[in-house]
Amino acid sequence: MKGGRLFETMIFLPITVSAVVVAKLWNQMFSPSGLVTGLLRLMRDDPRFVIDIFESRSFAITPILGVILWYYTGIYMVIFLANLQRVSPSVIEAAIIDGAKEHQILFRVVLPQMVNIVFTTAVFAIAGSLKSFDLIFTMTGGGPANYTTVIAIYMYLNTFRYYNYGFGSAISVMIVMLSLGLITLIRSVFRRFEERYE
């Protein structure tokens, strides 16, 4: 693909910037005078339009999830690209000669060789989601009305703002236990995949 290295660099670039800087940047973009709001005003042909998604109980976290996805995609891209290069081209060529279509090559040739990598990235995603704090706290502080409060922010508020150290410690232990439980569950699922493709 032409310009592949440029696209890879653009996708990886956000992770090199501090999460606090990224949060401040996206706060500006979502602000009433920001780029996202300006584009939506043009699309809706309404010069007084203001983004009110942060005031919605159900959807306030959605823009933050989009920012998190944009921010961390680069790490997973590097991991998957590095391991895709280890897949033997001769195996793919043999599959093509046998008449396999692209989706069959992906699901029957490539993915079985990357089960361990998918498991590793799933562990990273679980650990990262449960301890995600800096980006969300900088963007919204858990507000408005606790609509964007995640478990790490809840622990921080109880421990360092309300000085309820015992409760904060209990929440941190629950985060660790929840991480271990989810990782164990995912490990058992991926072990079945490994047994299936051995």
What mean pLDDT do residues 167-185 have?
92
What is the domain count for the chain? 1
154 is in which domain, residue-wise?
Answer: 4-197
Cα–Cα dist 108/36, whole Å: 41
pLDDT tens digits for range 8-21: 888 888 988 999 99
pLDDT higher than 70, residue 198: no
Q: How confident is the model at residue 56 (pLDDT cuts 50, 70, 90)?
A: confident
Rg (CA), the chain: 21
DSSP of 79-130: HHHHHHTTS-HHHHHHHHHTT--HHHHIIIIIGGGGHHHHHHHHHHHHHHHH
Is the pTM for the entire model greater than 0.85? no
pLDDT higher than 80, residue 121: yes
Which CATH number belongs to the domain containing residue 137 in this structure?
1.10.3720.10
pLDDT reported for residue 160: 92
Q: At what angle do helices 62-84 and 19-30 cross, to 10 degrees?
A: 130
pLDDT tens digits for range 63-86: 899 999 999 998 998 899 888 888
